[in-house]
Structure 1
Amino acid sequence: MRFISAAVLYTALALGANAALAGTAELEALREGSMKKLAFAAEPTAVPTTTFTDVTGAEHSLADWQGKYVLVNFWATWCAPCRKELPALDALNRDFGGDDFEVVTIATGRNLVPAIERLFAEVGVESLPILLDPKLALSREMGVLGLPVSVILDPEGREIARMSGDAEWNSDSARAIIGALLKPE
């Protein structure tokens, strides 16, 4: 009897572990093109509570977006790859943004609000927030060493995936990954 209970427990644990791995494996299988750079974490990790501001000077933290999946994008106006991917991030946010998902763009370092507004107008960004990390406090704590860096947070506010470098966030692959994340279990 003791052997059977241990075997059942082991099997249940193994199946549970495999289910978790299958979810990550499913997401990894959806990566194509530039999305192949997206690395999924083995375990979700907490993110810092460091604050950043909006254009009015109001403080925010990543915890403000808990309850939904969040694609946090660290960028700067002077960064050519960042500028290139902004329209794709905007399209992704327009199509998927809402109660379950949002793209949150955070300009790191010295980025003047008028320059950000001008850039958003030039490239047609309409749905992305203007958030600022001028002293690089959040960026440093999140281990952002270059730009752009995108981090996906789960609804509990934990990091589950990360990508360094620009990506085609409006591609079929990116849309499939976000769609799979939002799919009810």
Structure 2
Amino acid sequence: MKGLVAILYLSVAIAANGALADAVPDALRVGDMKKLNVHADPKPAGDAAFVDAEGVEHRLSDWKGKHVLVNFWATWCAPCRKEMPALNALQAQMGGEDFEVVTIATGRNTVEGIGRFFADEGVTRLPVLLDPTQALARQMSVLGLPVTVLLDPEGREVARLLGDADWNGPEARALLEAMTGG
């Protein structure tokens, strides 16, 4: 219970002072969250268009107003595939008006391939979004996969994690709740 109270106090402190975002306490930097790089100053996010399964264009700015966990992945990437069920579970647990998990398959991925993979893994809560020319990935300096970026409600990058993570584990949820005020 004391840990939960500390997390609640931390979330209030972070929400009140964005400069504290880069000083996430070690108590929340456990497990995979040790790899999360929280920026002292928010960075602009890319604005290149990407498409959904029907070919409709989208931009990250479409999610402005909420915290967004953007995951760049590919069907051929083993660590990406490993973390996708956790991202799906995180969306089920935390997704809503204030927070969203947005997965973007970058590079050579087909809608059919993504659909098969999602069906095989029981992924039902994540969007099928593609960045086939890697325009957004290049704008966002995604040099390897997976890369996960946390955007604030203004659409700015506030944190980044390189590699896979258990995004639905208690460590990730506690840290995300603290950073998003959720």
TM-score when scaled to structure 1?
A: 0.86
For 1:39-58, what aligned pairs fall within 5 Å after superposition?
39-58=37-56
Residue in 2 aligned with 1:33? 31
Q: Shift of the alpha carbon at 1:35?
A: 1.2
Given the alignment, which residue of 144, 161, 164 partners 2:162?
164
- Per the TM alignment, residue 58 of structure 1 is displaced from its structure 2 partner at its CA by 0.6
Return the offset for 1:23.
4.2
Structure-1 residue corresponding to 2:66: 68
Paired position in structure 2 for 1:13: none
Q: Runs of 5+ in structure 2 lacking a partner?
A: 1-15
Identical positions, percent: 59
C-alpha root-mean-square deviation of aligned residues, in Å?
1.6
Task: Please tell me the residue identity of whatever aligns with 1:130.
Answer: V
Query: SS of 2:149's equivalent?
Result: strand
Give, in whole Å, the separation in 2 of the partners of 1:57 and 1:20. Answer: 37
- Structure 1: gaps (5+ residues): 1-17
CA contact 2:64–2:153 (8 Å) conserved in 1: yes
* Residue aligning to 2:90: 92
| Separation in 2, partners of 1:28, 1:69 | 22
- Residues 149, 160 of structure 2: 8 Å contact kept: yes
Q: After TM superposition, where is structure 1 displaced by more than 2 Å over at least 4 residues in a row?
A: 18-29, 181-184
Residue of structure 1 in register with 2:8 after alignment: none
